[in-house]
Amino acid sequence: MTEARALRRDDPRELAGYRLTGVLGDGGQGTVYLGQKGGRHVAVKVLHARLVSDRRAVRRFLAEAATAARIEGAGTARVVDSGMAEERPYLISEYVDGPSLQQHVQRYGPLHGDELDELAIGTIGALSAIHRAQIVHRDFKPSNVLLGPDGPRVIDFGIARTVDSATTATSSVVGTPGYMAPEQIAGEDATAASDIFAWAATVAYAATGSSLFSGANIPAVMHRVLTAEPDLSGVERPLRSVLADCLRKDPARRPTARQVHARLTRQASAPPAPLPASVRRRRLLIAGMLVLVLAGSALGSMWWPDRLPEAVGPQLHESLSSTPGFGQAIGGPFGPAGDQVTAMAVGSLLGDPIVAAAGGGVIHLLRPGAERPPYREIPVGSSRVTFVAVTEVDGRAMVVYVADGVLRTWNVADAEPGRFFTCDSENPPVAVADGRAYLGCPNGRVITVDLRSGRPAGEPQVFESVVTALVWDGFQLVVGTGDGHLLRGGARAAAGAPVTRIGHLGGTRIAVVTTDGRVAVYGPDLAEVIFTAETAQPLADVIERDGELVTLAGGRGLSAQEGEHEVRLLDEPHEVTTIAAGELGGRAVVVAAIGGSRLRAWNLDR
């Protein structure tokens, strides 16, 4: 039986006649317990006590119970009972003894052969039953598929809704980035076709072990969903063609769950054509190494030196002390060799200029000009670092980062990792300021972490949409959402598209970047847009220099524009994967990861 955590002091011991024996999981809405009565095990979901006074939360919980009870057929966890106990709503469902698909893949790797076929057919059959009940799941993803002893089960109807309730007075983006269909990200209503897209992304994850639309942060993931064609080369035929049809950007062109189920069952009954063992092994090797070959070998031979100089820090420091003009490169390529840089930050720690670059399971702290070794490496054990920041807390140098969706802290002096926080997202947005870190979650919550104590500070703030970007403006938190809004205290403004990045320019001005490549600067209370620019590039940022705004646009090349003056920092043949702008050694700079392996810095001062 799947292991359950021990009950805590304030957990109930009995509910609706069931003895509660352990905790199966916690979420933003409630806690799921393992219940038992007469030798029968069930899953008991109870609304959090702090939400009992929230009428909307209670209504949503009861709606989930009613929705799940409508579904008939195999492939879902059957509802046993629901109701109210001591003013707290509960939902009792059949217990599925098995890990989630996400847990299984993380522990044992991708599924193959009959296991993958069983997953695909079982889950699309469940989705067909859900759609027959006129229900749209809206959050189909690997963590919502349980691998039970009798086959996969689809769970969690917390944000599902019936088709006849699709029109609402206010709309918000709900779902999990990376498994949301393009139309959901664009703020349109989720339909059965949106579930088909999410199903295909989930099955592709099961087949390859990685997300189709991974990115450095939530905005990058959303941009890939909207614009990039998924790479299905790691999925065997004929499943690959089925998934490709389900992942079409236009929802009208996707097949229905019933049609997909029919295709898969026909294919499963056909005898497979065996491949020689050497060919099967070669396919797996090619699928696993293709990206490394392109990013590391081909691009490296185009323009990077064969080996990294041993003292890259002093090289950059000497360049920082010189006076290159606006848009001119500062020194040559520097930083870690051969790593896929997924997150960067520039700033200072204890008076030293710092470039932090995450990649290859390590966060590299480049300390140019110091007599100490030129950089320090912090092992994080994951290549999926989506955020990194350097900060000082009570005179201590600290690194805050997100790896595999988990927010962690690291005390540089002690070389020790601190506490960790998670909220069911592969790449949550984070803001770090004034001794606190703010962690945005897909369910609209923002968790505040006190970096001094390493503990949550107060109750989470709750918003109505997916939180995609955060910044602390010196007085309060500013939030960007997936449905294209900015929230600052009681003020609200429409950004026109999902928000990918927010920056504080000083005073009351906020710089905002959206998925369509638009950059805008908002004044006090978000009431006035005082600057706009169109970049048409996947990476964009804006920095203030001597009262002037400089717009940065990267992707195929990199450019900087100040007023009417635009400078090409890097030509188009070179791909920029990550950029970070800020002050380094007293000078405004932009640092870019080019092709994911080397860093370059450019001066933005006059």
Q: What are the catalytic residues? A: 139
Tell me the C-alpha distance between 353 and 102, whole Å.
Answer: 39
Q: Provide the 10 A C-beta neighbour count for residue 122.
A: 22
Q: Provide the 10 A C-beta neighbour count for residue 580.
A: 23
For residue 187, report the phi and psi dihedrals to the nearest 5 degrees: 90, 10
> What is the DSSP code (8-state) at residue 76?
B
Q: CA of 603: how far to CAs of 315, 546, 576, 589, in Å?
A: 15, 13, 17, 5
Tell me the C-alpha distance between 31 and 171, whole Å.
Answer: 27
Q: Provide the 10 A C-beta neighbour count for residue 66.
A: 13
> What 3-state class would DSSP assign to 71?
coil
Tell me the C-alpha distance between 337 and 300, whole Å.
Answer: 10
User: Taking the CA atoms of the chain, what radius of gyration do you get in angstroms?
Assistant: 25
Q: CA of 323: how far to CAs of 65, 83, 246, 289, in Å?
A: 66, 71, 54, 42
> What is the DSSP code (8-state) at residue 520?
E
CA-closest candidate to residue 104, choices 112, 285, 408:
112
Q: Are strands 352-359 and 362-366 parallel, antiparallel or unpaired?
A: antiparallel
CB 145 within 8 A of CB 153: yes
**Length of the chain, please?**
606
Q: How many CA atoms lie within 13 A of 418 on its CB side?
A: 23
CB 577 within 8 A of CB 341: yes
> What 3-state class would DSSP assign to 349?
strand
Tell me the C-alpha distance between 259 and 398, whole Å.
Answer: 53
For residue 514, report the phi and psi dihedrals to the nearest 5 degrees: -115, 170
Strand ranges for 167-237 from DSSP E: none
CB 364 within 8 A of CB 321: no
Tell me the C-alpha distance between 601 and 606, whole Å.
Answer: 15
CB 391 within 8 A of CB 412: no
CB 181 within 8 A of CB 103: no
CB 480 within 8 A of CB 495: yes
Tell me the C-alpha distance between 595 and 224, whole Å.
Answer: 17
CA-closest candidate to residue 324, choices 114, 603, 74, 38:
603
CB 196 within 8 A of CB 97: no
Residues sharing a CB contact under 8 Å with residue 464, sequence separation 6 or more, in sequence order: 170, 172, 444
